[in-house]
Chain A
Amino acid sequence: AQRVTQPEKLLSVFKGAPVELKCNYSYSGSPELFWYVQYSRQRLQLLLRHISRESIKGFTADLNKGETSFHLKKPFAQEEDSAMYYCALSQGGGGNKLTFGTGTQLKVEL
């Protein structure tokens, strides 16, 4: 069975500091990994996915199959980055069901 682990419930950083939100997974096949974000009082939305290898809002995430990790990184945190971040895994294709991690609350302080 697949599993997604986000070890930090809360991550607090100062504005301008680097950010790394950790995500580890367990899955026997070839997973697809995603990061979803939920801003205050808003719905869950896709931030980025590993297959597109893109940078969204300055965030990047690299799939490391050796370490079974998909950490989310941003070199300089902004106040508007404060949100709940969920790492998610799919067996194949985003349309397939997602397994979510427990989420990490990112708080960017001035």
Chain B
Amino acid sequence: GAVVSQHPSWVICKSGTSVKIECRSLDFQATTMFWYRQFPKQSLMLMATSNEGSKATYEQGVEKDKFLINHASLTLSTLTVTSAHPEDSSFYICSATRLAGGLYNEQFFGPGTRLTVL
């Protein structure tokens, strides 16, 4: 159990368009979902923390109007990159924690989405 999926796995778009990435917990309900960004050969950088039914909490330096996060249900969070530009090209990864995690809430990671903006 505890599988997280992302869709699409890769996307190429033109500069100025918006792209939506979905993150789903397939076999569990997720209290919290996290969105990360990873540049080539670099570490994962947390972008925002998303709780179901409330506004996402963004990390310092992350533009909330550019990276719109919606967490409408306990199994789905979406990240929309608005008016994408080439510098937004990156690998976007989500993770989710279980609703009933007990003392420790492990994060389960999705496979990532490769975004390329032309």
Contacts and interface: CB of A to CB of B under 8 A. Distances in A.
A91 interface: no
A66 interface: no
A46 B43 contact: no
Contacts of A44: 44, 93, 95, 109
A93 B42 CA distance: 24
Contacts of A102: 42-43
B104 A101 contact: no
B77 to A, nearest CB: 14
Contacts of A57: none
B31 interface: yes
A94 B106 contact: yes
Contact of B31 (A45, A86, A95, A103): A95
B97 A97 contact: no
A86 B107 contact: no
B49 A97 contact: yes
Interface residues of A, number: 19
A81 B97 CA distance: 26
Contact of B97 (A45, A94, A100): A94
Contacts, number: 51
Contacts of A96: 105
Interface in B4-48: 4, 31-32, 34, 42-46
16 contacts: A43-B4, A43-B93, A43-B109, A43-B110, A44-B44, A46-B107, A93-B103, A95-B31, A95-B97, A95-B101, A95-B104, A96-B105, A97-B46, A98-B44, A98-B107, A102-B42
Q: List the 9 closest A-B pairs by CB distance, nearest first.
A: A95-B105, A95-B97, A44-B109, A102-B43, A43-B111, A100-B43, A100-B44, A94-B106, A43-B109
Given A46-B106, A97-B46, A98-B34, 18 more contacts: A43-B4, A43-B93, A43-B109, A43-B111, A44-B93, A44-B109, A45-B109, A86-B44, A94-B97, A94-B104, A94-B107, A95-B104, A98-B46, A100-B43, A101-B43, A102-B42, A102-B43, A103-B43
